[in-house]
């Protein structure tokens, strides 16, 4: 395989990828504004088709990703650097981890840390609702949906991009990861453009939905603190403030705004986690963590392949398959950003940092917040099921209100949500800048501002017209082509790694 760089066009405003993406996004936005019901109907049909007919493929594919990245970590390939042999990491481990975690999971964990376990407690995959059995299932399935599997999805794209960019010298574009399969000429043509456009659209729709959901979460916190009515106008105002902050952050670059905001998000999030652990039902949290992890590990394979084969249990489609498709739709954005900040690390260190460490933190977060919520329902005053039933965005704050100094904790919670909110948005804006500027590792500031403003505008308009659910569904549908793309990435990466390692192995054999 040639290691020459693919031709890059770093002038974003003359890039065909930029203009194609911009035109399609604007047309989609106009469709959502003027034909909201039609968009919701069409996206609903596409979503149902993907979940019903390809649910099995999502489950098998994502499990293969888990097995693949773990294999790379323990195999002879683990010592290969994502860069030249003498390259050193650009960022310290804490800063690196803070950036990848804030980008990949931060706001989602806060939004769902209470609401998902409560939903599983109320409506488990099987067994009796609101029972001791459903409480155990609530914890193990929350771990399952937020730990190993989603981070493996991110790791496949991130590892492929970092390898082909920093070790092989190709631009940081999704298309670069397929050179061993299609060759440089094909990748520079229509195939490459289609692959990169899939990444742009997945990032835009995923971030627009995230902005909408984040606005709901911040609005719910303000409602509980000050009694502010959670109206569409409030949601739009929140989106505008967050968008402006995210644009400022992304314009300052990774080494300033994004890096420091990620650190702040991690510190405040961990502080809130520690407070709830200490003032909450500490012993119950530890017990829930222990038995939940045991159930998770014991039933790992069964949970990985649990699907409705006879049409009587829609739960896997509502939760697991939906989540896998959702994480896949996010993976071009998260994977690209993780790759951008991972130069100089070995494959073994990379997998440990992007798979094992964040999975453990997700489990701890779910144990503390989800465990406290389950305890409140089983042994406390209850009320969280009603709060979550009224809207998932209220669950997190409803739990915080049950502790001493609840208003202070809710205020801190709103701050944590807002900072995680900004870090997700500015990271996505930076990624779209790279994808539409020929893989430029430092995309021009104007292009970052354009994508940041466009993301905020999409989210604001959709909140006003009620089309957020349609875009969320559309983003999930994008997960199917991304799944196929990741399978191709694995094939290409294996080919490249074999050509790198085999000559040395042959030399030893001859000697």
3 state SS of 159? helix
* 473-499 average pLDDT score: 90
Tokens of 452: 């940041």
For residue 11, the model assigns a pLDDT of 46
Question: Residue with structure tokens 């009224």?
Answer: 390
Q: Does any domain span residue 8?
A: no
Q: If you average pLDDT over each of 118-127, 378-387, 439-448, which comes out highest?
A: 118-127
Q: Could you tell me if 123 and 385 are in contact, meaning their C-beta atoms sit under 8 angstroms apart?
A: no
Q: Does any domain span residue 469?
A: yes
Domains: count for the chain: 1
* Res. 6: pLDDT tops 60: no
Q: Does any domain span residue 19?
A: no
Tell me the residue range of the domain where 202 lies.
39-499
One-character DSSP codes across 168-186: T---S-GGGGGHHHHHHHH
3 state SS of 427? helix
* Res. 281: pLDDT tops 70: yes
* Res. 280: pLDDT tops 50: yes
Q: What are 352-367's pLDDT values in tens digits? A: 999 999 999 999 999 9
Q: Does any domain span residue 295?
A: yes
Cα(168)–Cα(178) distance, integer angstroms? 12
Here the CATH number for the domain that contains residue 393 is: 1.20.1740
Question: At 277, phi and psi to the nearest 5?
Answer: -60, -40
Q: Does any domain span residue 23?
A: no
pTM over 0.95: no
Q: State the pLDDT confidence band at 136, using cuts at 50, 70 and 90.
A: very high
For residue 505, the model assigns a pLDDT of 46
Question: At 346, phi and psi to the nearest 5?
Answer: -75, 160
Q: Does any domain span residue 18?
A: no
E strand or H helix at 7, and its extent? none
Q: At what angle do helices 406-435 and 445-465 cross, to 10 degrees?
A: 120
For residue 21, the model assigns a pLDDT of 80
The better pLDDT of the pair 213, 447 is held by: 447
Distances (CA, A) of 61 to 122, 302, 383, 482: 29, 15, 39, 11
* Res. 324: pLDDT tops 60: yes
Measured on CA atoms in the order 140, 143, 148, 150, is the torsion positive or negative? positive
Please report how many Cα atoms fall inside a 13 Å half-sphere around the Cα of residue 502, on the Cβ side. 6
Q: Does any domain span residue 353?
A: yes
One-character DSSP codes across 430-452: HHHHHHTTTT-SS--HHHHHHHH
């Amino acid at each position: 395989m040639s290691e020459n760089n693919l031709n890059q066009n770093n002038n974003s405003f003359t890039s065909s990828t930029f203009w194609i993406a911009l035109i399609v996004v604007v047309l989609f936005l106009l469709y959502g504004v003027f034909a909201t019901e039609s968009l919701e109907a069409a996206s609903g049909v596409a979503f149902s088709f993907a979940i019903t007919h390809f649910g099995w493929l999502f489950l098998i594919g994502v499990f293969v990703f888990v097995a693949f990245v773990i294999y790379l970590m323990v195999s002879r390939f683990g010592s290969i650097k994502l860069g030249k042999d003498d390259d050193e990491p650009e960022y310290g481990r804490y800063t690196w981890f803070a950036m990848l975690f804030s980008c990949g999971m931060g706001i989602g964990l806060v939004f769902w840390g209470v609401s998902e376990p409560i939903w599983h407690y109320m409506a488990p995959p099987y067994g009796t609702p609101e029972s001791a059995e459903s409480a155990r299932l609530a914890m193990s399935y929350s771990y399952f949906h937020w730990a190993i599997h989603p981070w493996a999805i991110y790791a496949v794209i991130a590892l492929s991009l970092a390898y082909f960019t920093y070790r092989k010298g190709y631009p940081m574009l999704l298309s670069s990861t397929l050179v061993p399969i299609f060759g440089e000429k094909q990748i520079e043509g229509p195939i490459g453009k289609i692959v990169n456009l899939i990444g742009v659209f997945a990032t835009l729709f995923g971030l627009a939905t995230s902005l909408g959901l984040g606005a709901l979460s911040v609005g719910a916190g303000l409602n509980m603190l000050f009694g502010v009515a959670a109206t569409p106008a409030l949601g739009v105002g929140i989106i505008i403030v967050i968008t402006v902050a995210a644009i400022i952050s992304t314009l300052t670059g990774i080494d300033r705004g994004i890096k420091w905001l990620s650190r702040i998000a991690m510190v405040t999030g961990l502080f809130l986690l520690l407070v709830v652990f200490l003032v909450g039902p500490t012993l119950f949290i530890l017990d829930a963590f222990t038995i939940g992890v045991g159930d998770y590990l014991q039933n790992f394979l069964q949970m990985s392949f649990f699907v409705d084969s006879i049409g009587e249990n829609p739960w896997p489609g509502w939760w697991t398959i939906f989540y896998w498709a959702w994480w896949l739709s996010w993976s071009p954005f998260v994977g690209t950003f993780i790759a951008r900040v991972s130069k100089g690390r070995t494959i073994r260190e990379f997998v440990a940092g992007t798979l094992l460490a964040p999975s453990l933190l997700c489990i701890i977060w779910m144990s503390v917040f989800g465990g406290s919520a389950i305890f409140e329902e089983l042994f406390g005053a209850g009320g969280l099921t009603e709060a979550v039933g009224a809207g998932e965005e209220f669950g997190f704050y409803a739990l915080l209100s049950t502790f001493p100094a609840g208003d202070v904790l809710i205020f801190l919670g709103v701050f944590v949500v807002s900072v995680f909110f900004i870090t997700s948005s500015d990271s996505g804006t930076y990624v779209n800048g790279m994808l539409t500027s020929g893989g430029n590792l430092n995309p021009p500031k104007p292009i970052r501002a354009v994508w940041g403003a466009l993301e905020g505008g999409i989210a604001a308009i959709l909140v006003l017209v009620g089309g957020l659910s349609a875009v969320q569904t559309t983003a999930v549908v994008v997960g199917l082509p991304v799944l196929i793309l990741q399978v191709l990435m694995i094939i290409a990466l294996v080919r490249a790694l074999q050509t790198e390692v085999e000559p040395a192995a042959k030399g030893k054999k001859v000697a």
